[in-house]
Amino acid sequence: MINENLYWQSFLLPYELAVGGFIIKLEAMRKEFLFKKVNNPIEIVSGRVKSVSSILEKAERLNIDFNHIPEGIYDIAGIRVTCKYIEDVYTVADLLKSRKDIDIFLIKDYIKEPKASGYRSLHLIAKYNVETVDGRMPINIEFQIRTHAMHLWASIEHTLKYKYYRHIPEEIQERLIQASIICASLDDEMTRIKSTMGSVVVDKVRETEPDLDEMEVFLNSIKKW
């Protein structure tokens, strides 16, 4: 058991380094947007490394051989970026695509083509070289980019999947699909409101300084989803 624990600690360490590093990088980008007082597409940045039980469960479900887990499971390291508006989601995606330190090899756009369950989000899967004491180590890392409405829906659906062991009752599934449609409508309306805001002339607009408390980086936000 001790050797097994040491194996998994060693296995997961590069993923933890990658997630911690990208939380810092994306928070720094958010801070720069705020200081420059330009549109900030990044609302919340969080990350997680899959638990051992989740890795093994997914490998079994996808029929991935134990020795092929590193290349077969794309989301052992996960970064989630939450945005206000749908257009911000694609802005963040473009920012990630322009980076030189990652090589995006797969894009899953569940916003334009939602899953049958109603799930909506934009996923970018990339190769990333982690700098370790033993040299560079290539790993897969997944970026999930979504709006607040998408995140609310996904969080509730995730909880229900856990509760019902991935077999959500059909009646609840139907209600989740309807809820997803409502969330999509909310995102569309928020986009229209933002567009209207740009054309409305007002007498006074409050100039605010960036809130330094909002710029703190919390590495302990690396958690288990």
The CATH number linked to 96 is 3.30.460.10
- pLDDT tens-place values along the chain, 225 residues long: 568 899 999 999 999 999 999 999 999 999 999 999 889 999 999 999 999 999 999 999 999 999 999 999 999 999 999 999 999 999 999 999 999 999 999 999 999 999 999 999 999 999 999 998 889 999 999 999 999 999 999 999 999 998 888 889 999 999 999 999 999 999 999 999 998 987 766 666 565 555 545 555 444 555 545
Is the model's pTM score more than 0.85? yes
Write b or e for each residue in 72-93: b if 16 or more Cβ atoms lie within 10 A of its Cβ, otherwise e.
bbbbbbbbbbbbbbbebbbbbb
Is residue 163 in a domain? no
**Alpha-carbon distance 140 to 129, whole Å?**
9
Specify the pairing of strand 135-147 against strand 77-83: parallel
Q: What are phi and psi of 90, to 5 degrees?
A: -75, -25
Is residue 91 in a domain? yes
**Alpha-carbon distance 128 to 16, whole Å?**
12
Is residue 217 in a domain? no
Tens of pLDDT, residues 115-162: 999 999 999 999 999 998 889 999 999 999 999 999 999 999 999 998
Is residue 201 in a domain? no
Place of tokens 């980086």: 217
Specify whether the CB–CB gap between 76 and 19 falls below 8 A: no
**Alpha-carbon distance 106 to 175, whole Å?**
30
Is residue 179 in a domain? no
Summary mean pLDDT of the chain:
90
Is residue 9 in a domain? yes
Is residue 199 in a domain? no
Identify residue 2 by its one-letter amino acid code.
Answer: I
Q: Which domain holds residue 123?
A: 2-148
Identify residue 119 by its one-letter amino acid code.
Answer: Y
Catalytic position from the list 4, 142, 209, 216: 142
Is residue 85 in a domain? yes
Reply yes or no on whether 142 is catalytic. yes
Looking at the 3D structure of the chain, how many domains does it have?
1
**Alpha-carbon distance 149 to 167, whole Å?**
23
